């Protein structure tokens, strides 16, 4: 009875999610203390997934509050980290300029600005690659700049994937971007998308974040096949897809492999992947008790979880639906 009066958490949409160390450093840099970013990245070392996530959040901050990055560049000319953050900031601005709507609902002005900023981001990413020869993340940024002209740059994109995974075979950002680029709504097909997700997922060791990429492929497939424009109105058809035995079996197999090495950490991509699994369970109507555990671990940290937007018009609406279902 008392469960009827439970209220969902007040959602925290900070991009840093549960990485409180990252959030604190980001807050300091936007106030002008660029050393907080330098020190944070120094402590992150060669943990490529964590480094990539932290660079992404700092790059988003630099997109809209660049003064601290300019100060860093003045104090340490040619710092390789600054080159990555400049490229990421431009790529983030390009994405914001285009928006998240389908092509038919995107204006020509938005497309022009998307192309202009993507070209600038591509130029900056080439410098970042040159200054960070061992780091896979600048290659992932380079890949992101190609969404503006992917049909012409498909060969270059695949080359960039190869360079990223040569440095880190199971690099989450690189493989995630490949799944997105090769999905049908961008520059590939369902078959290419699932191959890009399933290949690294099968090859990766237990506990690796990339083992969860087939969930994203299933989200993309359901979005494309069962109502791209209608979203929540087509939710029953999308749920029916996730309730197919072979789909849920793959979701469950991915989740078991992800957790086989112990409870996955919360930083890096840990929160996002918990959201993915909770969403997949909801769509399949399976394991509400396990989903409740996931939601307890997630807490209020929604961040920006784009997958909810594949099924509802607002990410928060999707999270609340899953939360209420889990009970």
What are 29-52's pLDDT values in tens digits?
A: 999 999 999 999 999 999 999 999
Q: Can you give the pLDDT at residue 1? A: 40
Instruction: Based on the fold, state whether residues 172 and 233 are members of the same structural domain.
Output: no
Do 41 and 179 belong to one domain?
Answer: yes
The answer to whether residues 113 and 224 belong to one domain is: no
Does residue 230 sit in the same domain as residue 158?
A: no
Q: Looking at the structure, tell me whether residues 156 and 37 fall in a common domain.
A: yes
Same structural domain for residues 140 and 257? no
Residue 11 lies in a domain: no
CATH number at residue 131: 1.25.40
Does some domain include residue 28?
yes
At residue 232, the pLDDT reads: 63
The pLDDT assigned to 123 comes to 96
Question: pTM for this one?
Answer: 0.94
pLDDT in tens, 72-123: 999 999 999 999 999 999 999 998 877 666 667 777 788 788 889 999 999 9
Cβ–Cβ under 8 Å, residues 213 and 173? no
Percentage of residues in the chain having pLDDT higher than 70? 95
Compute CA distances 170 → 69, 148, 287, whole Å: 30, 25, 28
Domain for residue 266, yes or no? yes
| 13 assigned to some structural domain | no
Q: Do residues 107 and 139 share a domain?
A: yes
219 and 263, same domain (yes or no): yes
Same domain, 143 and 217: no
Q: Burial of 1 by CB count in 10 Å (0-12 exposed, 13-18 middle, 19+ buried)?
A: exposed
Does a structural domain hold residue 9?
Answer: no
At 239 the pLDDT is 96
301: left (phi over 0), alpha (psi -120 to 50) or beta: beta
Q: Is residue 96 included in any domain, yes or no? A: yes
Q: Which of 142, 158, 189 is the last residue before a domain boundary? A: 189
Residue 257 and residue 290 share a domain: yes
Q: How many domains does the chain have?
A: 2
In terms of domains, do 157 and 231 share one?
A: no
**Which residues of the chain, if any, have pLDDT below 70?**
1-5, 99-103, 230-232
Range(s) of the domain holding residue 32: 20-189
Tokens coding 223: 């979005």
Predicted pLDDT of residue 2 = 44
172 lies in the same domain as 242: no
In a domain, 69, yes or no: yes
Mean pLDDT of the chain: 94
Tell me whether residue 195 is in a domain: no
């Amino acid at each position: 009875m008392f469960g009827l009066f439970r209220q969902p958490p007040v959602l925290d949409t900070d991009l840093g999610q549960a990485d409180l160390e990252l959030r604190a450093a980001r807050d300091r840099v936007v106030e002008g203390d660029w050393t907080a970013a330098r020190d944070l990245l120094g402590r992150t070392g060669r943990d490529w997934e964590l480094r990539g996530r932290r660079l992404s959040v700092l790059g988003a901050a630099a997109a809209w509050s660049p003064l601290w990055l300019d100060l860093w560049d003045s104090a340490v000319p040619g710092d390789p980290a600054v080159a990555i953050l400049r490229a990421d900031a431009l790529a983030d601005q390009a994405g914001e300029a285009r928006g998240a709507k389908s092509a038919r609902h995107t204006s020509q002005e938005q497309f022009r600005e998307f192309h202009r900023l993507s070209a600038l981001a591509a130029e900056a990413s080439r410098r970042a690659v040159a200054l960070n020869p061992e780091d896979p993340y600048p290659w992932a940024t380079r890949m992101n700049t190609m969404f503006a002209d992917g049909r012409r740059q498909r060969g270059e994109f695949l080359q960039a994937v190869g360079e990223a995974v040569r440095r880190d075979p199971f690099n989450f950002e690189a493989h995630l971007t490949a799944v997105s680029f090769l999905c049908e709504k961008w520059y590939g097909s369902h078959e290419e998308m699932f191959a890009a997700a399933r290949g690294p997922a099968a090859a990766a060791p237990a506990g690796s974040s990339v083992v969860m990429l087939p969930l994203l492929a299933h989200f993309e497939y359901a979005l494309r096949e069962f109502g791209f424009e209608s979203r929540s109105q087509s939710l029953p058809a999308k749920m029916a897809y996730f309730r197919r035995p072979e789909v849920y079996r793959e979701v469950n197999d991915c989740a078991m492999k992800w957790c086989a090495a112990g409870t996955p950490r919360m930083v890096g991509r840990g929160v996002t992947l918990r959201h993915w699994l909770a969403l997949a369970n909801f769509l399949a109507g399976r394991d509400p008790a396990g989903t409740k555990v996931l939601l307890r671990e997630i807490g209020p940290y929604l961040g920006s979880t784009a997958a909810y937007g594949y099924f509802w018009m607002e990410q928060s609406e999707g999270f609340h639906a899953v939360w209420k279902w889990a009970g």
